[in-house]
């Protein structure tokens, strides 16, 4: 029995160890002395937060050795693919520092999950840290690199010239990114391409594309897509039309209320404004009694009756006994 257990253990332990060791992102970067020797891994909760930096986004910190090697374990990551950012900080800068553009650009976006295992390798000394890379064992991350390269074309100073030429390049780049988004099998890669294609500026011109795109990925359940759907919905003129219809509905209700309900309330209102004594006198007025008769019936002086009648006229906005008799106080 013991021999059997030992045999199984001997077989299982290496498998367990190998599985855990393999779930990691490894890499080698050409880091000079101006950089801190740490790699930070940040979780990007939505594509809108790609250029957001705060300490709570940083989920791991690993050391870079003297040869530029580093490794980040992925076993604590969610099972599903997510977007992450790898970045380094300059010496003297805090861990939460983001540099976009220029020679000190300090970050790279990657996709990873719990079982990710791939390698990032710098292809020699380049102008920036992540300028020239090779990612092995992850076709999806390779695609992200390709998307980055295409996006960079728009800002490449060597090929951009006049504003008109720049517009044409920009259109071509966005078209290419939309094609990648359309043909990519991985939803996150596809959405990454969409966000890089400055979809907010191009939505109106390519609305049909975005509507079909949403239909294609309608079953994709992820926060990235939920946020994208909301953004598209807000830009959709049909969405604005809903608000117009709702506003019109309330406008109609308002008109009906003004025409039928308020007048009813108003008709009742003046009678309700009369005091008990005034109502009693008003009834006597309607029955055609004179001031003297009212005075005798209510057991009050004529001057008091006159004062009550004057108040009734004012409150009911009438000028004569005849008008008082015409009012239907029911």
Partner 1 sequence: MKTKILSILQVSILMFLSTLSITAQHSSFNLNREIQLTGESNTFEISIPIAPGLKQLGITVSSSIWQGDISIELYDPRKKKIGNYSVGTQVDDKTDPEKSRFSKPKETVEGRIVKVFENPIPGDWKVTIKTEKSKGHVNISTTSNE
Minimum Å distance from CB 41 to partner 1? 17
Min separation Cβ 81 and partner 1, Å = 24
Distance CA 52, CA 240 (A): 29
Query: Is 128 among the residues that bind partner 1 (CB under 8 A)?
Result: no
Q: Is residue 101 part of the contact set for partner 1 (CB under 8 A)?
A: yes
Residue 135: name the closest of 173, 154, 109 by CA: 109
Contacts (CB under 8 A) with partner 1, residues 40-59: 51-56
Pair 72, 39: CB distance under 8 Å: yes
Q: Which tokens go with 132?
A: 């020239």
The phi and psi torsions of 84 (rounded to 5 degrees) equal -130, 160
Q: Toward partner 1, which CB reaches closer, 85 or 308?
A: 85
Ramachandran area for residue 188 (φ above 0: left; ψ -120 to 50: alpha; else beta) = alpha
Q: How far is the CB of 206 from partner 1 (least distance, A)?
A: 16
Distance CA 319, CA 55 (A): 78
Of 25, 98, 129, 281, the one binding partner 1 (CB under 8 A) is: 98
Q: How far is the CB of 168 from partner 1 (least distance, A)?
A: 14
Establish if 200 lies at the interface with partner 1 (CB under 8 A).
Answer: yes
Q: How far is the CB of 203 from partner 1 (least distance, A)?
A: 13
Three-class DSSP labels, 146-199: HHHHHHHHCCCCCCCCCHHHHHHHHHHHHHHHHHHHHHCCCHHHHHHHHHHCCH
Judged by CB under 8 A, the residue of 28, 132, 186, 198 near partner 1 is 198
Report strand pairing: 118-122 vs 69-73: unpaired
Each residue 138-167 as x (binds partner 1 by CB under 8 A) or -, in order, gives -----------------x-x--xxxx--x-
- If the CB atoms of residues 108 and 312 are measured against partner 1, the closer one turns out to be 108
For residues 163 and 237, which CB has a smaller minimum distance to partner 1 in the complex?
A: 163
34 interacts with partner 1 by CB under 8 A: no
Q: SS3 of 72, please?
A: strand
- What is the number of alpha carbons within 13 Å of residue 149 lying toward its C-beta? 11
By C-alpha distance, which of 116, 152, 115, 114 is closest to 133? 152
- Whose Cβ is closer to partner 1: residue 103's or residue 257's? 103
> Rounded to the nearest whole angstrom, what is the least distance from the CB of residue 199 to partner 1 in the complex?
12
Q: How many residues bind partner 1 (CB under 8 A)?
A: 27
d(CA 210, CA 22): 38
Dihedral, CA atoms, 51, 109, 44, 239, nearest 10 degrees? 70
Residue 51: CB minimum distance to partner 1, A: 4
All residues at 6 or more sequence positions from 317 whose CB lies less than 8 Å from its CB, including other chains: 270
Q: Which is nearer to partner 1, 167 or 218 (CB)?
A: 167
Query: Which x/- pattern, by CB under 8 A, does the window 56-95 give for partner 1?
Result: x------------------------------------xx-
| Residue 157 vs 266, nearer CB to partner 1 | 157
CB of 104 to partner 1, least distance (A): 8
- Contact positions toward partner 1, by CB under 8 A? 51-56, 93-94, 96-102, 104-105, 155, 157, 160-163, 166, 198, 200-201
């Amino acid at each position: 029995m013991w021999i059997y257990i030992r045999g199984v253990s001997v077989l299982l332990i290496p498998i367990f160890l190998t599985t855990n060791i393999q779930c990691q992102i490894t890499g080698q970067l050409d880091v000079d002395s101006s950089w801190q020797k740490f790699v930070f891994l940040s979780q990007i909760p939505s594509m809108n937060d790609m250029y957001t930096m705060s300490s709570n986004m940083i989920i791991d910190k690993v050391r870079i050795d003297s040869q530029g090697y580093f490794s980040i374990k992925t076993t604590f990551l969610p099972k599903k693919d997510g977007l992450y950012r790898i970045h380094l900080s300059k010496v003297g800068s805090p861990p939460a520092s983001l540099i976009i553009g220029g020679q000190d650009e300090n970050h790279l976006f990657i996709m990873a999950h719990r079982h990710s295992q791939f390698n990032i390798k710098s292809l020699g000394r380049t102008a920036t840290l992540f300028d020239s890379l090779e990612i092995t064992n992850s076709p999806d991350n390779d695609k992200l690199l390709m998307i980055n390269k295409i996006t960079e074309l728009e800002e490449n100073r060597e090929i951009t010239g006049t504003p008109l030429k720049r517009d044409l390049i920009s259109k071509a780049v966005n078209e290419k990114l939309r094609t990648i988004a359309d043909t990519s099998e991985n939803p996150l890669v596809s959405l990454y391409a969409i966000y890089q294609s400055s979809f907010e500026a191009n939505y109106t011109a390519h609305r049909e594309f975005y509507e079909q795109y949403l239909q294609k990925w309608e079953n994709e359940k992820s926060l990235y897509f939920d946020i994208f759907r909301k953004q598209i919905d807000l830009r959709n003129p049909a969405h604005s039309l809903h608000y117009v219809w709702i506003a019109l509905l309330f406008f109609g209700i308002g008109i009906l209320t003004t025409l039928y309900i308020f007048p009813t309330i108003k008709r009742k209102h003046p009678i309700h404004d009369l005091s008990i004594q005034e109502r009693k006198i008003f009834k006597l007025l309607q029955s055609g009694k004179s001031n003297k008769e009212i005075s005798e019936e209510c057991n009050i002086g004529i001057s008091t009756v006159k004062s009550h009648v004057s108040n009734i006229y004012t409150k009911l906005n009438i000028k004569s006994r005849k008008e008082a008799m015409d009012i239907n106080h029911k």
